[in-house]
Structure 1
Amino acid sequence: MESFSFIMIAFLIISAITVSVIRNLLSAVIIFMVYSLIMAILWQQLHAPDVAITEAAVGAGITTILFVITLKKIRGIKR
């Protein structure tokens, strides 16, 4: 179980760096969603299910939807 946590932390670091350097805004939002889902998994591994559910709902769900809507409104996503 400990090796799983180390793998998740490695993916967390990779996704955080990737969000910082990527140029495409939609790709950055999707990778940020992956970051939030990995955080939710790590919170669950730390036996904090309430924090994990909140991270998944707010971090990966609502925030991603708001970012995508904002990108559409500012024409960041081409149709």
Structure 2
Amino acid sequence: MLILNVILVIFLIICAVAVERTKDLLGAVIIFAAYSLIMAVLWLMLQAPDIALTEAAIGAGVTTILFIGVISRTRRMEK
């Protein structure tokens, strides 16, 4: 179980750095959604199902949809 926690935390760090480094805004949103889903899994492993459900619904669901809506009305690539 400890190895799984370490792998998930390393993946979170990789996702955070990737979101910061990418120039493609849609790609950044997709990576951010993956970050939120992994964070929800970690909350579930910490036995906090209410926070995990909220993170999955709002972090990966609603926020991703709103970001994609905004990107569709603007340019996709950052300067």
TM-score by length of 2: 0.94
- State the percentage of identical aligned residues: 53
The size of the alignment, in residue pairs, is 77
5+ long unaligned stretches in structure 2: none
Deviating beyond 3 angstroms after TM superposition, the runs of 4 or more aligned structure 1 residues are none
Structure 2 distance, partners of 1:20, 1:75, is: 18
Structure 2 distance, partners of 1:64, 1:14, is: 19
Higher relative CO (Cα under 8 Å, sequence separation at least 6) belongs to 2
Structure 2 distance, partners of 1:37, 1:12, is: 10
TM-score by length of 1: 0.94
5+ long unaligned stretches in structure 1: none
